[in-house]
């Protein structure tokens, strides 16, 4: 054990070097070793997310939080094979056109815009006041292998974000992928499943961040 004067010196040397802001995110991963996708894994992911609620901030209303989300495989039973899905939070009606144009610039199109069913009453008052319209853009597969397709989707998302920022169009794209789909919002993790109905029908591995590092400035 070092002498007391050594400890005092160590503490003194460390003063002022600690960051004033610290993240306290929690994250859980659930997967199956079998070849078949199963909803049981997603259900366990939802349960894990609820049990990580103590790692995120919670408003006095008991519902509004600083962000919770669930990442799952694209549910093929809902969207079909050979499709990617972009999740779009839309506060400005120009947002969909910006995303569609970015996808077109990378050789992809939008076959359908699916309005995501939600239950706003599951949100706290603060999040509900600024809640966006949430869309799933269903994107057919281009003539490209999986790796190139995923790369195109990423570049299209980044282009849409840059164009929107330059045009002062408020949007947020939680995910744009042929592999994974993200559900997230400004609520406690215990309320995510009730807000979004789709995860209850989804299958596949799940990842549950209690406080996602990338999220909109407000709204779910």
103 vs 97: CA distance, rounded Å: 10
Strand partners, 6: none
Q: How many CA atoms lie within 13 A of 80 on its CB side?
A: 8
Tokens 């309005």, residue located = 115
Catalytic position from the list 25, 178, 207, 214: 25
Catalytic-residue membership of 25: yes
Active centre residues (catalytic): 25
């Amino acid at each position: 054990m070092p002498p007391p004067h050594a400890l005092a010196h160590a503490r003194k040397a460390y003063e002022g070097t600690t960051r004033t802001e610290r993240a306290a995110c929690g994250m859980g991963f659930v997967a199956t070793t079998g070849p078949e996708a199963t909803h049981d894994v997603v259900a366990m992911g939802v349960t894990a997310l609820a049990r990580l609620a103590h790692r995120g901030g919670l408003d006095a209303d008991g519902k509004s939080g600083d962000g919770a989300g669930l990442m799952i495989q694209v549910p093929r039973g809902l969207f079909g094979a050979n499709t990617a899905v972009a999740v779009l939070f839309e506060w400005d009606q120009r947002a969909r056109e910006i995303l569609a144009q970015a996808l077109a610039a990378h050789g992809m199109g939008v076959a359908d815009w699916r309005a995501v069913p939600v239950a706003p009453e599951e949100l706290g008052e603060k999040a509900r006041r600024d809640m966006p319209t949430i869309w799933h853009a269903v994107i057919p597969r281009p003539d490209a292998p999986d790796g190139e397709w995923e790369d195109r989707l990423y570049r299209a998302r980044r282009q849409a974000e840059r164009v929107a920022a330059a045009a002062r169009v408020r949007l947020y794209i939680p995910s744009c992928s042929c592999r994974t789909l993200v559900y997230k919002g400004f609520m406690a993790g215990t309320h995510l499943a009730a807000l979004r109905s789709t995860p209850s029908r989804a299958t596949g591995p799940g990842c549950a961040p209690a406080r996602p590092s990338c999220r909109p400035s407000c709204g779910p």
